[in-house]
Amino acid sequence: MGDRPEPLAALLASVAGQHGDPIDVVVVANGGPVPDVATADGRVRTIGLPENVGIPAGRNVGAAALDVDVVLFLDDDGDLPDPGVAELLRAAFTADPRLGIVSFRIVDPETQTTQRRHVPRLRAGDPTRSGPVTTFLGGACAIRADVMAEAGGLPDDFFYAHEETDLAWRALDHGWSLDYRADIVLTHPATSPARHAVYHRMNARNRVWLARRNLPWPLVPVYLGSWAVLTVARGSSRAGLRAWADGFREGWREPCGPRHPMAWRTVWRMTRLGRPPVV
């Protein structure tokens, strides 16, 4: 968005300082001013979009501009403190040809803690435990280009919220695996998702779209019902609940894109991984 030039410069420096082969970088200016970060050798390029097309569409634009085997998506206010991250990722993807997505651990640089919502599994008490997962963190991840091609990339129309889970479910259904790697760290200031004005509405709308697009019909009411109960139980404000209800209705009224329900074997696989697609 062009409003964090200093953190962006620090992030780019941390990417340039990675061990091993140089990394090609595309910075997408998503409706904001195009930053002056392009390099003469072409290692850092910029793309300016005339309007904010949303997080998933912006990331798709950046990925499409790269000719690489694996794409890293990094939030512009993040930082890679370990110069060995790229080599860890190269080793991981080389060792397992069916590894599709790696989700990093996000650590607050001030407190050195990881927010619970940044651990992509139900049992999030120990963020230092690595393992297979069924979703990932969109601003701190690495995705094999073949996954983007087979699964169709991130869902542009989601704009914000749950686009990672949509891609993760489709990747799992195509037989790819996802890993959460606690030893691969992106530092990022602790934030609340509710800081975005559209959070409650899009959280609900996209949750409905996620279910409509990906789940066998018998699981749709179970999944959405469990999340409705959780939303109320978590004690959102009255205004937040109204916005959530508006988004929930919108999710049913508006087209959600193509429907490709996952196979029941994928449901069982996710269940064995500890996160059945009902919560």
The answer to whether residues 73 and 163 touch, using CB atoms and an 8 Å cutoff, is: no
> What is residue 172's predicted lDDT score, i.e. its pLDDT?
98
Q: For residue 1, how many other CB atoms are within 10 A of its CB?
A: 11
CA dist 269 and 271 (Å) reads 5
CA dist 51 and 32 (Å) reads 7
pLDDT digits (tens, 9 = 90+) for 196-243: 568 899 999 999 999 999 999 999 999 999 999 999 898 778 888 999
> What is residue 77's predicted lDDT score, i.e. its pLDDT?
94
Q: pTM for the whole thing? A: 0.96
CA dist 112 and 76 (Å) reads 19
3-state secondary structure at position 23: coil
Segment 122-150 shows an average pLDDT of 96
> What is residue 2's predicted lDDT score, i.e. its pLDDT?
83
CA dist 204 and 202 (Å) reads 5
Name the percent of the chain lying above pLDDT 90.
90
